[in-house]
Chains A and B, each alone.
Chain A
Amino acid sequence: MKLTELKENNTAVVAGLNGDDRFISRITSIGLTPGSRLRVIKNDKNRPMLVYSRDTMIALNQKECSGIEVTEVGA
């Protein structure tokens, strides 16, 4: 499923990344590589998503993170 489909407090593991080189470079450098675990802190419409992963609170523009595939894991 897409990262954006997750709800607040869902936990998931990154399954795949799709996008151009620049996007891949940016998203991996911030730590969202396949296999990394994340938790959704906030997912409001018209606001960047807030996810917590690798020690870090990350803000992600909704459009940008449509290229992030995740697998939800039991919270």
Chain B
Amino acid sequence: MSEIVTIALLGQPNSGKSTLFNALTGLRQHVGNWPGKTVEKKDGSFSHNGKIYDIVDLPGSYSLSANSDEEVITRDFIASGRADVVCILADSSQLERSLFMTADYAGITVPSFLVLNMADVAREKGKNIDVNVIEKNLGIPVILFSANDKKGYEPFYKALERAVTDKSIIDASSLEQEYAGINGYNEIKEMVPDGLISGYSPMWIAIKALENDPVVIEKLKTGLDPEKTEKIDSFRKSVQGAVEAGGAKFAWIDSVLSGAVNEKNENITLSKLDRIYTNKTWGKPAVVLTILIGLILSFIPALPLMGVGMGIAALKAPIGEWLISAGCPDILIAIINSVIIQSFAYIFQMLGFVFGVTLVFGLLEEIGIMARVSYVFDNTMGKLGLQGKSVMPFLVSFGCTMGGAAGSRVIENWGQKVLTIALAWAVPCGAAWSVVPMLSTLFFGPGAVLVIVAILLTMILHMWITAKIFGRNLITQENRYGMIMEMPPYHKPKWGALLRYVLGRTKDTFIRVTRVVLVVCTVFWLLSYSFVSGSDPILYKIGMAIEPVTKIFGLNWKLFMAFVASSIGKEGALGVISALFNGGNFYGAFSDAMSGGAVAADLNNTLLTNVTKPEALAFIFAITFNMPCVVALAATYQEIHSVKWTAKIAIYYTLGALVLAAVVYHIGILIW
């Protein structure tokens, strides 16, 4: 027997699984993908009493059916025999419903124990639970637990050790009696060959067959002769198996709980806060206000990191001077300044957003507010094929798209996550808001208001069209289901675990984003640097060569270069214009502009004399709806783990911005 014990965490969403996982592993965790799947995989390790435990957080799902990738992954992992013990989580405050997973697990022969989480919330609700009764009925260790209570962990470790030594398996005999009442159950079970799926008993397989489980039925078909398969099919057609099996499971849960729960049966009403959130008129404003307050508060922990970023950017000039005085070759100074220092300055500034957003979203999720957000925006976001929660990354993206991408991790379904980020890119970020109003006012005076209204309307249209284009491939019909979800009671967060999780996430983001940003900044630098003094950089040559084409979009080569620069960072766009129109050296223009360098004092005049109104309008739309910035690109990749989709989104936005520019340019020509 190996020294290391592997635990798998099994539980429905909102059962406090991640809190427990984070509390147990701390920073010793790793986030990746399940092989060949787009479902996130979290594993980690911890030691207790000199023993090392590996822990795998199985993807959250509501049952062990085979309707989603998450469920299939969970089942396959259990069948693989890699878990020595499965820790099943349930929510004590919603005990009856949340024991469904335990009932669905019964019949699986991998040892298990049951953790009734959120005991504190149950207690507050006036509910007394006698775990000894439940333990006797189930035949596996059962504990009452609050993930946010430090004292609770000793019993957890004890239950774990007991489950490992006793190899405790759920006593399913009384559950089977319930199943036996379903027409065809006994007959099908007789036909199930031993060991059809390792780790799963014939009872489990028989009931899944009745539930029309496609994977189990396929297995039975290959393992049995056609005559028997036909018989099973006829039984399946004769009953609403899944409905009856569900009823049987809950009947069993009732019997397991009988005598174990003592509850003051209060009349259930909505709490004051929920009455506001669920209010027809005030619900949406209240949710948006909650999120905004959260975002404002998130700036407090974010500021130090942003300060670091600005500090790094400020190092550029002194380091440059020092390198020159040290006789360092130009090219090396350029690499150090334009690629390395520049990249880290960007990354740290935006990392502040990631830290703040991850913290606030994590907090909202733990407290239970996220579920209310889903509820309030279910209908609106449903039209885009998304969940109500998707509204949060959208709101964050008005500040920073990278924060929006980081915030999309609250969306469990991968396709919906990718689509959410793809749509969040259309939301003009803080950097766009720092450039657009200024340019609009310069060219259109009071008309700037109209430009901004037009931008917001375009944003909505853009999101709608993008949802249509990408949604077809990303959101399968089975995910277009509306909300069927429990509203968890509010509960206190566990700060330590939350902070450790946020730090871990920020660290992960830092590492992955750094790689992408360094690569992109290097490529960009190579294109814009004159390697032979006096010769023109490649980017300049390309810009000149394709000017006849970019003119269609209303962008002359200078504006087009500024557009290209805006894909790296929107703040840089103005600087590039400023330098190019003032006849500055091309490379110097980029280098200075990208570091937020000085915009020439007479930029306004330069622009007004060199750029026409239609061109200005085209440029404003082009940079607003362009790829947000290189760091947002990297953050998108970090969240969706797919080069293909990241590239698709980036190309789509670059082309989309040019198309929009062309449209407004030609409208502009008609007007002026």
**B-binding residues in A (CB < 8 A):** 16-17, 21-31, 33-36, 39, 41-42, 44, 46-48, 50, 52-65
Q: Can you give 23 A-B contacts (C-beta < 8 A)?
A: A21-B242, A22-B67, A25-B63, A25-B67, A25-B242, A26-B484, A28-B246, A28-B249, A33-B246, A34-B247, A41-B269, A41-B270, A44-B278, A48-B375, A48-B379, A48-B482, A57-B486, A57-B489, A58-B485, A58-B487, A59-B378, A59-B483, A62-B482
List B residues 185-234 near A (Cβ within 8 Å). Answer: 211-212
**With A17-B240, A17-B243, A41-B270 as contacts: A23 and B482 at CB distance below 8 Å:** no
Chain B residue numbers with a CB within 8 Å of A62 are 482
Chain A residue numbers with a CB within 8 Å of B100 are 29-31
| Cβ distance A65 to chain B, nearest Cβ, rounded Å | 8
**With A28-B243, A36-B250, A50-B278 as contacts: A61 and B378 at CB distance below 8 Å:** yes
Quick check: is B478 within 8 A (CB to CB) of the other chain? yes
**With A47-B278, A52-B268, A63-B482 as contacts: A24 and B243 at CB distance below 8 Å:** yes
**With A33-B243, A48-B378, A59-B375 as contacts: A26 and B250 at CB distance below 8 Å:** no
Do B97 and A33 touch (CB < 8 A)? no
| Cβ distance A21 to chain B, nearest Cβ, rounded Å | 5
Chain B residue numbers with a CB within 8 Å of A44 are 278, 280
The complex places the Cα of A45 from the Cα of B452 at a distance, in Å, of 33
| Cβ distance B79 to chain A, nearest Cβ, rounded Å | 19
Chain A residue numbers with a CB within 8 Å of B95 are 55
Quick check: is B588 within 8 A (CB to CB) of the other chain? no
Do A64 and B486 touch (CB < 8 A)? no
Query: Which A-chain residue is minimally distant from B211 (CB atoms)?
Result: A25
| Cβ distance B13 to chain A, nearest Cβ, rounded Å | 11
Extra inter-chain contacts (19) besides given A58-B485, A61-B483, CB under 8 Å: A17-B240, A25-B242, A29-B246, A31-B96, A31-B100, A31-B250, A36-B250, A42-B270, A47-B378, A48-B379, A52-B268, A56-B97, A57-B268, A59-B374, A60-B483, A61-B378, A63-B482, A64-B481, A64-B484
Closest 8 CB pairs of A and B: A61-B482, A28-B246, A57-B487, A29-B63, A31-B97, A54-B96, A29-B62, A56-B94
The complex places the Cα of A56 from the Cα of B212 at a distance, in Å, of 27
Chain B residue numbers with a CB within 8 Å of A46 are 379
| Cβ distance A50 to chain B, nearest Cβ, rounded Å | 7
Do A41 and B250 touch (CB < 8 A)? no
**With A31-B100, A47-B375 as contacts: A59 and B243 at CB distance below 8 Å:** no
List B residues 355-402 near A (Cβ within 8 Å). Answer: 371, 374-376, 378-379, 382
Binary CB contact string for chain B from 238 to 265 against chain A (1 if under 8 A, 0 otherwise)? 0010110111011000000000000000
The complex places the Cα of A46 from the Cα of B67 at a distance, in Å, of 27
The complex places the Cα of A62 from the Cα of B94 at a distance, in Å, of 23
A-B contact count (CB 8 A): 135
Query: Which B-chain residue is minimally distant from A57 (CB atoms)?
Result: B487
Do A59 and B268 touch (CB < 8 A)? no
From A23, A29, A30, residue with most partner B Cβ within 10 Å: A29
| Cβ distance B547 to chain A, nearest Cβ, rounded Å | 51
| Cβ distance A25 to chain B, nearest Cβ, rounded Å | 4
The complex places the Cα of A59 from the Cα of B593 at a distance, in Å, of 51
Quick check: is B109 within 8 A (CB to CB) of the other chain? no
Chain A residue numbers with a CB within 8 Å of B65 are 21, 25, 29
The complex places the Cα of A22 from the Cα of B268 at a distance, in Å, of 29
| Cβ distance A60 to chain B, nearest Cβ, rounded Å | 6
The complex places the Cα of A29 from the Cα of B98 at a distance, in Å, of 9
Measured as residues with beta carbon below 8 angstroms from the partner, the interface class of chain B is 35 or more
The complex places the Cα of A16 from the Cα of B245 at a distance, in Å, of 14
Chain A residue numbers with a CB within 8 Å of B379 are 46-48, 61
Query: Which A-chain residue is minimally distant from B241 (CB atoms)?
Result: A24
The complex places the Cα of A35 from the Cα of B485 at a distance, in Å, of 20
The complex places the Cα of A54 from the Cα of B242 at a distance, in Å, of 19
Chain B residue numbers with a CB within 8 Å of A25 are 62-63, 65, 67, 211, 242
Quick check: is B337 within 8 A (CB to CB) of the other chain? no
The complex places the Cα of A57 from the Cα of B484 at a distance, in Å, of 11
Do A26 and B481 touch (CB < 8 A)? yes
Query: Which A-chain residue is minimally distant from B261 (CB atoms)?
Result: A55
| Cβ distance A13 to chain B, nearest Cβ, rounded Å | 12
| Cβ distance B186 to chain A, nearest Cβ, rounded Å | 21
**With A29-B63, A29-B100, A46-B379 as contacts: A64 and B483 at CB distance below 8 Å:** yes
Do A61 and B242 touch (CB < 8 A)? no
Do B278 and A27 touch (CB < 8 A)? no
Chain B residue numbers with a CB within 8 Å of A60 are 482-484
Quick check: is B93 within 8 A (CB to CB) of the other chain? yes
The complex places the Cα of A27 from the Cα of B18 at a distance, in Å, of 24
| Cβ distance B89 to chain A, nearest Cβ, rounded Å | 15
Choose one: B63, B94, B96, B484; the contact of A61 (CB below 8 Å).
B484
| Cβ distance B138 to chain A, nearest Cβ, rounded Å | 18
| Cβ distance A44 to chain B, nearest Cβ, rounded Å | 5
Do A24 and B242 touch (CB < 8 A)? yes
The complex places the Cα of A33 from the Cα of B283 at a distance, in Å, of 30
The complex places the Cα of A34 from the Cα of B63 at a distance, in Å, of 18
Chain B residue numbers with a CB within 8 Å of A31 are 96-97, 100, 250
Do A39 and B280 touch (CB < 8 A)? no
Do B487 and A28 touch (CB < 8 A)? no
Do B375 and A22 touch (CB < 8 A)? no
Do B487 and A61 touch (CB < 8 A)? no
Chain B residue numbers with a CB within 8 Å of A30 are 62, 97, 100, 484-486
